[in-house]
Amino acid sequence: MQPMPFRRISIGLAVLAVSVTACSSGGKALGPDHRPILATNAAAAPLLPVDAAELPSFDLSTYQRLLTQLKGTPVLVNVWASWCGPCTQEAPRLARAAKTYGGRVQFIGIDILDARDSARRFMAKYGWTYPSLYDDTGAIRDGLGLIGQPVTIFYDRGGAQVAHWSGALPEDELTKRLNQIVA
On whether the 42-182 domain is CATH 3.30.1330.40, my answer is no
| Residues 137-162: tens digit of each pLDDT | 999 999 999 999 999 999 999 999 99
d(CA 182, CA 145): 25
| Residues 41-82: tens digit of each pLDDT | 567 799 998 888 899 999 999 999 999 999 999 999 999 999
* pLDDT score of 44: 77
pTM beyond 0.85, yes or no: no
Based on its alpha-carbon atoms, the radius of gyration of the chain, rounded to whole angstroms, reads 19
Instruction: Indicate the average pLDDT of the chain.
Output: 84
H/E stretch holding 111 reads strand 106-112
DSSP code string of 3-54:
-HHHHHHHHHHHHHHHHHHHHHHH-----TT-SPP--TTGGG-TTS-SSTT-
Whether residue 150 is preceded by a cis peptide bond, meaning omega within 30 degrees of 0, is: yes
| Residues 89-100: tens digit of each pLDDT | 999 999 999 999
Percent of the chain with pLDDT over 70: 77
* pLDDT score of 123: 95
Residue 75, number of CB atoms within 10 A of its CB? 23
Identify the band that residue 18 occupies on the pLDDT scale cut at 50, 70 and 90.
Answer: very low
Going by C-alpha positions, the residue among 155, 17, 45, 33 that lies closest to residue 95 is: 33
